[in-house]
Amino acid sequence: MNMRSHISFLRRGKIVDLVPTSTTQTVLDYLRLDEKSKGTKEGCNEGDCGACTVAIGRVKDGKLVYEPANACILLVGQLHGCELVPVDDLSQDGVLHPV
Ligand code: FES
């Protein structure tokens, strides 16, 4: 069994290395509870309403492709090797993110 204790992903142009607090920790809980990024909202908490939508960037066919994901049902471990772009990160220093 492949037990990954550390994961790495990109956020705000920097690599984030962390150990998820549990195997079932969601990206929504990570953002709101650990990072205090409150822009991503909790609505239904079961993947239906979209209040928690984040963009996930992945390399596909040599290109970086962003896709929406529901942070309430996305596990932190699934971020490994991806870029995480929550609503809080869409503008930095007055410059909009390409998403
Ligand atoms: Fe409704 Fe995530 S909180 S889809």
Check pocket membership of 74 for ligand 1, CB cut-off 6 A. no
DSSP 23: T
Q: Note the pLDDT tens digit of each residue in 27-76.
A: 999 999 999 999 999 999 999 999 999 999 999 999 999 999 999 999 99
Give the Å distance between the CA of 9 and the centre of ligand 1.
22
Give the Å distance between the CA of 51 and the centre of ligand 1.
5
- Average pLDDT value for residue range 77-95: 92
CA 48, CA 51: separation in Å to the nearest integer? 9
Residue spans of beta strands (DSSP E) within 1-99: 7-11, 14-18, 53-60, 63-70, 83-85, 91-92, 95-96
Threshold 0.85, pTM exceeds: yes
